[in-house]
Amino acid sequence: MPELPEVETVCRGLAKVLEGRTLTRAEARRPDLRFPLPPDLAGRVEGHRVLRVDRRAKFILFHLEDGTVVVAHLGMSGRMYVMNGSPPPPGLHDHVILATDDGTTVYFNDVRRFGLLDLTTEAELPNYRFFQDLGPEPLGNGFNGPALAARLKGKNTPIKAALLDQRVVAGLGNIYVCEALFRAGISPRRKARTVQGARAEKLAVAVRAVLTEAISAGGSSLRDYVQPTGELGYFQHRWAVYGREGEPCVQCGAPIRRLVQSGRSTFYCASCQR
């Protein structure tokens, strides 16, 4: 599943081609993805200018001039790609098409159909069904050591599971949690409630750093994920622990270990992380 850096990369790519443009066509080529698609999609968005494209957690938001907000989630295998000029006919898995007044066409392609595309409004956005319980943005001004420590206080779950809880921090995924815990020297098995004070501050800094670096590198390309332009991300070449079971730790040389937590693979160095 695309994680926060991949979604942020997609947002930035889409912003370059959509912001300031008017949507001239919106076509839903099937009635649903993971959830039903808005039956009034075309009527709600056609003829309206895109003011900005941004992100909340792993959701992509298109803010339109009339206050409508298009909410999209890439799911497991979804991607958005951009075509200019006379685009080819849509493929089998191109489920939603958005076209603009300058000839740009955006395809929402989703082979597994676990993605989402919905409509809400600016006024309803804070209480939108998927946003109500989200924690702070890890790249936002409200995310720091004390804020993280407060959300981890009293939690008996492993820190790895706590960080994947979107109510604790919005948008974090498996890859970048593994990498951030390694940078902070924190074992994924450690009880979340024990990550306080300087330890929480170090983890918050590591989370922000690894996400920022991944965004700069264009994200990590796994299976179906590519940027809107079709370019691949390169952060996977910088992974310190993720996917490196049995390989030497980049810091101490001990073999990277793998364990399963909540059904997800966790990669870590038992020597460097405590």
What are the DSSP E strand ranges found in 110-256? Answer: 116-121
Which member of 3, 6, 8, 179 is catalytic?
A: 3
Is 2 tagged catalytic? yes
201 noted as active-site residue? no
CA 227 to chain centre: 13
φ, ψ for residue 157, nearest 5 deg: -75, 160
Q: Which of 44, 55, 58, 244 is catalytic?
A: 58
Q: Say whether 255 is catalytic.
A: no
Q: Do residues 147 and 170 touch, judged by C-beta distance below 8 A?
A: no
DSSP 59-101: EEEEEETTSEEEEEE-TTT-EEEEE-SSPPPP-TTEEEEEEET
Of 2, 158, 188, 228, which residue is the catalytic one?
2
Decide: helix, strand or coil at residue 30.
Answer: coil
DSSP H/E element including 69: strand 68-73
Q: What is the rounded CA–CA span in Å between residue 24 and residue 142?
A: 37
Do the Cβ atoms of 90 and 97 come closer than 8 Å?
yes
Determine which one of 21, 49, 238, 264 is catalytic: 264
Q: Active site includes 3?
A: yes
Residues designated catalytic:
2-3, 58, 264
